Amino acid sequence: MKSKYLKSILETRQVIRITGHFARCNSRTFVNWVLTSDDSDSEIVLEFLWPLLTDAFKTNVGDVEGEGLKFVGIGDRHFRPGYGIMDEVNKCFNDTAVILAAVSNAFCESVFCKNELEYAIILKKPVVLLFLEQIPEESMPACVRQLFNKNVRVKIEMKDDEIKVTPHVDDVCSAIFSLAY
């Protein structure tokens, strides 16, 4: 039987371990980085998914952003203007524990998204696929199809400006931390 005290100690150790890992990185660090393809995908991620994931991480881990840790990074919010896109991708991927790919038909058709996903695989970053819509397997690029057939993925549904995440967002956050550390 775990007491509240023991649970508190274990949670504190988890936060210390997480912040300790990121203290060894540059000042801009992320638990995970979200890849998106076009404006409509970015809108879903920025307006709905990004706040949902950030809030879920804060609820489950605590607010450690003051320690230099960002829970969720995305190019529209964290790329530095004036720098080369691939330089920013490289910097952010190297400072990220887990890559989240917001997969849509537009994502599957984008050469840039395919290249970013392949780069994440080359870096041996854990990748979690977040499906924003139903996509036939034959429409997926090889790198997406490989992960689709190998790993559990997340389904994102938008209904009446509400977002539904399956499995539950708390389980997704838990899995991301397990992959990260």
Using alpha carbons, list the distances in angstroms from residue 64 to 9, 23, 29, 151, 170: 16, 11, 12, 29, 17
CB 96 within 8 A of CB 126: no
How high is the pLDDT of residue 180? 77
Domain harbouring 53, CATH code: 3.40.50.10140
What's the order of all strands across the beta sheet hosting 96-103? 69-74, 29-35, 96-103, 127-131, 154-159, 162-166
CB 81 within 8 A of CB 75: no
Domain that holds residue 60: 4-180
- Residue 122 clears pLDDT 80, i.e. is over it: yes
- What does the pLDDT look like over 2-32, one tens digit per residue? 445 444 444 444 443 443 343 333 333 566 6
How high is the pLDDT of residue 74? 74
CA–CA distance, 40 with 42 (Å, rounded to integer): 5
Which secondary structure element, helix H or strand E, spans residue 34, and what is its range?
strand 29-35
Domain count, the chain: 1
Peptide bond into 81 cis (omega under 30): no
- What does the pLDDT look like over 52-74, one tens digit per residue? 877 877 776 666 555 555 667 77
Strand partners, 130: 102, 154
Percent of residues, the chain, with pLDDT higher than 90: 24
Percent of residues, the chain, with pLDDT higher than 70: 70
